[in-house]
Homo-oligomer: A and B are copies of this chain.
Amino acid sequence: MSLPHAILTALIEADLTGYALAKQFDVSLGFFWQASHQQIYRELKRLHTQGQIAVQEVSQMGRPDKRVYSLTDTGRQALEDWVQAPTPRRNSKDELFIKLYNMGTVPLESMLRAIAERRQQHVSRLALYRKIEHRSYANPQTLSAHKKGVYLSLLAGIRQEEAALTWCEEALILLRA
Once the chains bind, are A162 and B163 in contact (CB under 8 Å)?
A: yes
CB of A14 within 8 A of chain B? Answer: no
Find the B residue at minimum CB distance from A156: B167
Q: How many residues does chain A have at the interface if contact means C-beta atoms less than 8 Å apart?
A: 67
Number of copies: 2
Once the chains bind, are A90 and B94 in contact (CB under 8 Å)?
A: yes
A-B contact pairs, 25 of them (CB 8 A): A2-B93, A5-B95, A5-B98, A12-B102, A12-B105, A32-B94, A79-B105, A83-B102, A87-B95, A87-B96, A87-B118, A88-B95, A89-B94, A89-B121, A97-B153, A100-B150, A101-B146, A102-B149, A103-B145, A103-B150, A104-B149, A152-B167, A152-B175, A155-B167, A155-B171
Chain A residues packing against B (C-beta within 8 Å) = 2, 5-6, 9, 12, 29, 32-34, 76, 79-80, 83-84, 86-108, 110-111, 114, 117-118, 121, 140-141, 144-146, 148-150, 152-153, 155-156, 159-160, 162-164, 166-167, 170-171, 174-175, 177
